[in-house]
Structure 1
Amino acid sequence: MQVSLGIALAIVAAVVGFVVGGFIVPRIHARSEQRAAEQQGPSRLEVLREVYHQAPFALAVVDRHQDVVLYNRRAAELGIVDDRLLVEPVWRAAQVTFKGSGPSAFDLPAKIVSGRRRIPSVSGRSEILGGHGEQFVVVFADDDSEHRRMEAARRDFVANVSHELKTPVGAMAVLAEALIESKDDPETVEYFGGRVVSEAHRLGKMVTELIELSRLQGAERIRDLQPVDVDDVVDEAIRRSASAAEAAGIELITDPPSGLEVTGDRTLLVTALTNLVSNAVNYSPERTPVSITRAIDGDTVMLRVTDRGIGIAPDQQGRVFERFFRVDKARSRATGGTGLGLAIVKHVAQNHNGSVSLWSRPGTGSTFTLELPAHFEPGGDGALPSAEHDQQGEDQVP
């Protein structure tokens, strides 16, 4: 019995030893190695590889036979590499670098590939990859669409400003010469003197609006937003436009106070609405009304300015918010318009997370709608007093 018990114990010990040695110990070692690897983290090479592939700009390495030995995802997305080969304009730049001419720049225009995928315009350069006997060239490239767009806008802006400023300056020079020649005729001096004053005011207004527009275009959306009383904005815009409207025989009418509030900057909002009202007055015939109305739709307040003027042709409606665009240049100059008012309105709206839109029909009139985020008091039920106003339909001016 004692012998049998000894044999059993020996067998159990052998089994336990086999299990511990064959299964448990290796697993403990494997887990220890795994924990050590996790603590160590990825290798430096793995980190560099991930950085290379996640770089926000295109990178590619090519040899003298045009074989791309390495490239990241961005290089494929921007069309630098196609089927493991550099596209032709990029390869030409690389060849120049291989010939010892140093870094070489290249540009790729925007294009559509595979019928639907759009590749933006790209610019970049090629350089010799150091430390490898000049056997490889590295290509750097990035999307420059926004830069090109901004450059084009800047050139257009400078050209437009130069042209527009030249007109009143030239007119003032001619009028000043006429004044000198008419110094012995008081009536003529008074006439030309008035014209000089008018052109000077127009020039000053244009410079002021250019400064305002430049500030708005370079600004981010307004961060320090405050509740603004819509009725106060409407009243101030009407007050500022009253003299011009009275001189033109235009009646300014509006709906009752609404109690609405928007989130924004009061000064900018008054400027935007005043520009819309002034624009409506300038393009309205005598003895016709210009109306300013308030409405709310969900969390958006809508300020509408409607005239019964000449209207705007469909092919011109998409351009009315461009700088210096005028529907009727002769009428605009006669009223002292600068062609900047609606551009300012557009940028004020954008900086307030809002928008401005146009409805117009030639011979019937136009309605400009300024849409802005509504302000609700914390803890309120979302309802605002006097929020129900007639809204303009798609097919008629109210």
Structure 2
Amino acid sequence: MWRRWWIPVADSAARITPPPLVERRALDVATVGYAVLDEAGHVLYANERADELGLVRAGLIDRRIGEAVSRAVVHTDPVDVELGPQELPPDLIGPRRNPMSVQAVLRSMGDGLVLVSASDETETLRLEAVRRDFVANVSHELKTPVAAISLLAEAVTDAADDPESVERFSQRLVHESNRLSVLVNELIVLSRLQGADPLPDLSVVEADAVIAEAVARTATLAESAGIDLVTGEKTGLLVMGDRPMLLTALTNLMSNAVHYSPAGTSVSISCVLRETVVEISVTDRGIGIAPEHQQRVFERFFRVDQARSRATGGTGLGLAIVKHVAANHGGEARVWSKPGLGSTFTLRLPQYRPAPPVESSTPPAGRPGTERPTGAPRRHASSRGVQ
């Protein structure tokens, strides 16, 4: 298990004693690669992770690490070395992905020894890329309503002597202000879902109650669009989750279905149990989604129909919020769609099952009509009150 190369270079190996058993086991399972080198760059020992991250291969240190050893020996400050992408050896390739970025740090241990630690920074780079992409998207999306509000405010000022123009521009100003408000609120929700903050204390949530409240929230929008909201029978299914988040996700699905459905059609909401998963589905009879777009509908700011999104005030964040709400509850969001037939969006959540009651070993107290315990005196109506 413990991968170690003891190389007696000069008398360096004599100064290294094998780490205690507990420390060796700790290094065996460490996610950081560790290696101890002498001043000539020879490997005195290393853990398995050092081999996986390309720090050590076949008992030899990486060339870039070897070049930095002499600097690390004479400097008190750590020396950073970027190892870049690494390809795992064939015997290690499995479910794990190849590290895309490995960062190594060399520190002097004194007596001519150097400790090298290497870590996989792939996830850090991915998160940084997501953050940059998120900021770029947000900046672009915020420019449109902000610029529109600025232009409309100037137009209202210039048309102060024209009441009809003032009213028209004011209505547009209110529309853009509401759009900006919705966008900012959804950005706040999405950033919280994507962040490291844990979910609040979860509670048992009735799927039927969440569906009913989401329908109530969407009823006015559906009525104005001429859409009927159709729900199935109550199921009594339970999930463990954060009710406001689940309600937001389901309301977003219903609102999307209404926006993309023609007048005179209906939107159906169903709830079923498939094995241990509660599936809440929202089905519309709208325009549908092309196959090449179905994998992207849950991306931030992605819109299948840009013109329709502008007309309805959509932000392109609703389905992204649905995806993250589902993921934060240990579930997932799915879509089925066919152009011209409509779409079905499904929120899949683990079912909550109450623990079975624990049977008590204490016999229940006697009640009228229950069997008399063995050996207990029988009391008759005629002897009531007699000692």
Residue 87 of structure 1 is matched in structure 2 by 62
The match for 1:206 among 183, 204, 220 is 183
Higher helix proportion, which one? Answer: 1
Give the 3 Å change call, closer, same or farther, for CA 265–101 of structure 1 in structure 2: closer
TM-score w.r.t. structure 1 length?
0.77
**Mapping of 1:119-134 within 5 angstroms?**
119-120=98-99, 121-132=101-112
Write the letter of the residue equivalent to 2:154.
Answer: E
Write the letter of the residue equivalent to 2:238.
Answer: E
SS at structure 2 position matched to 1:301: strand
SS at structure 1 position matched to 2:262: coil
Alignment partners' CA distance in 2, 1:228 and 1:128: 56
Do structure 1's residue 174 and structure 2's residue 151 form an aligned pair?
A: yes
Are the aligned partners of 2:218 and 2:251 in contact in 1 as well (CA < 8 Å)?
yes
* Fraction of identical pairs, as percent: 51
SS at structure 2 position matched to 1:207: helix
**Aligned-residue offset at 1:87:** 2.1
Write the letter of the residue equivalent to 2:333.
Answer: V
Alignment partners' CA distance in 2, 1:49 and 1:251: 66
Alignment partners' CA distance in 2, 1:49 and 1:378: 41
Cα deviation per residue 1:248-306 (whole Å; 9 max; x = unaligned)? Answer: 22222222333333222222211111000011112222222211111111222111101
Give the 3 Å change call, closer, same or farther, for CA 294–55 of structure 1 in structure 2: closer
Residue 233 of structure 1 is matched in structure 2 by 210
Alignment partners' CA distance in 1, 2:69 and 2:49: 18
The match for 1:330 among 307, 322, 339 is 307
Are the aligned partners of 1:305 and 1:367 in contact in 2 as well (CA < 8 Å)?
yes
**Aligned-residue offset at 1:53:** 4.6
Are the aligned partners of 2:235 and 2:271 in contact in 1 as well (CA < 8 Å)?
yes
Alignment partners' CA distance in 2, 1:53 and 1:363: 57
Residue 167 of structure 2 is matched in structure 1 by 190
The match for 2:289 among 299, 312, 319 is 312
Give the 3 Å change call, closer, same or farther, for CA 93–250 of structure 1 in structure 2: farther
TM-score w.r.t. structure 2 length?
0.79
Alignment partners' CA distance in 1, 2:29 and 2:354: 44
Alignment partners' CA distance in 1, 2:346 and 2:318: 15
Residue 67 of structure 1 is matched in structure 2 by 42
The match for 2:220 among 228, 236, 243 is 243
Cα deviation per residue 1:16-66 (whole Å; 9 max; x = unaligned)? Answer: xxxxxxxxxxxxxxxxxxxxxxxxxxx975555555555431112334544
Alignment partners' CA distance in 1, 2:47 and 2:22: 14
**Aligned-residue offset at 1:377:** 4.2
Residue 334 of structure 2 is matched in structure 1 by 357
**Mapping of 1:276-291 within 5 angstroms?**
276-291=253-268
Write the letter of the residue equivalent to 1:252.
Answer: L
Are the aligned partners of 1:78 and 1:122 in contact in 2 as well (CA < 8 Å)?
yes
Q: How many pairs were matched up?
A: 336
Give the 3 Å change call, closer, same or farther, for CA 44–239 of structure 1 in structure 2: closer
Structure with bigger gyration radius: 1
Alignment partners' CA distance in 1, 2:255 and 2:118: 48
Gaps of 5+ in 2: 1-17, 358-387
**Mapping of 1:36-47 within 5 angstroms?**
45=20
Alignment partners' CA distance in 2, 1:379 and 1:282: 44
Residue 132 of structure 2 is matched in structure 1 by 155
Alignment partners' CA distance in 1, 2:308 and 2:103: 45
Residue 25 of structure 1 is matched in structure 2 by none
Give the 3 Å change call, closer, same or farther, for CA 373–220 of structure 1 in structure 2: farther
SS at structure 2 position matched to 1:319: coil
Alignment partners' CA distance in 1, 2:70 and 2:286: 63
Give the 3 Å change call, closer, same or farther, for CA 222–180 of structure 1 in structure 2: closer
Write the letter of the residue equivalent to 2:261.
Answer: S
Moved more, 292-301 or 215-224: 215-224
Are the aligned partners of 2:104 and 2:119 in contact in 1 as well (CA < 8 Å)?
yes
Are the aligned partners of 1:312 and 1:362 in contact in 2 as well (CA < 8 Å)?
yes
Write the letter of the residue equivalent to 1:255.
Answer: G
Residue 32 of structure 1 is matched in structure 2 by none
SS at structure 2 position matched to 1:330: helix
